[in-house]
Amino acid sequence: MHSLCLAMPSPSPINPLFPLKQHKISRSIALRKIFVIKLHSHSKLPTSDPDHDVIKGRELEIRGLLPELMPKHLAVIADGNRRWASERGLQGKQGHRAGRRAMKEVILLCSELGLKALTFFLFSTENWFRPKDQVDFLMAEFEDMMVSDVEEYRRKGIRTSVLGDTSKLPKSLQKAITAAEETTKGNTGLHLMISLNYSGKHDILQATKKIASKVKDGMIFLEDINESLFLEELNTKCTEFPNPDLLIRTGGERRVSNFMLWQLAYTELFFVEKYFPDFKEADILEILRSFQQRHRNYGK
């Protein structure tokens, strides 16, 4: 079994159908308590027709999930690829490739489960300070992902968007991103968002500048500024569900690392010890079961 750390606003009664072993509180993050639970393994079940809501609902129930309590938007900080490789005597590149395979499994599973939106944090603005050969490798991987992987996602009805300042990315990658977004924009299944050269602080800053400019030009009044207006200027304006209900970070770190700082205000946070290449379907299902036991009252 693998240790997992869960951050939540407040505890609620545990569903007796899916008991979780709770241990002592380990630390506090932004006034939220963190509990340690155990991940159990679960068998893989056959897939169904994603367009048949009744069958999909039954499959969720077979997995121990309630359709009405599924998160709309899941965000993932896929951490631990290099450490996974290092502990196995492998090169960092092999760790990133293993992480890419794990990412594909998560994407296809979320599509199968009927989630509306899925965001992966793959490359931050701070990651440019890594060694050049590593950055160049990642850029090539992202480009190949936009071409080969996205084509498979397109056939499954998945829409792909990229969050972040893409102007700083290599031109060939920018073209691949534009093509991926254009060819999948009509898809109505899972909305996959990939964060490249993304910064939560910059996201808030650029939204603030756009709103200030509109006030200066007389397009809106100061009194018009509210949360809804601000949300429309963030990178996540491309999706119907901009605020994640659930964030999973692998690799053992317990921080959000400048990711979606505005959007994560009321998100349930799950921190998993295992590295991302080892993150499997059973882990996601266990986290989803735990998520469904939470009572989210948004501070009310």
What are the DSSP E strand ranges found in 158-284? 159-163, 191-198, 246-249, 268-272
What are the DSSP E strand ranges found in 208-277? 246-249, 268-272
C-alpha dihedral, 240 to 246 to 248 to 249, nearest 10°: 80
Structure tokens of 84? 């996974």
- 100, 81 Cβ separation under 8 angstroms: no
3 state SS of 97: helix
- Alpha carbon distance 187, 185 (integer Å): 6
Q: Which residue has the tokens 């200030």?
A: 212
Structure tokens of 270? 């799950």
Q: Which has the closest alpha carbon to 259: 163, 178, 192?
A: 163
> Beta strand pairing status for 2-8 and 32-39?
antiparallel
Q: Which residues are the active-site residues?
A: 79
- Alpha carbon distance 4, 245 (integer Å): 18
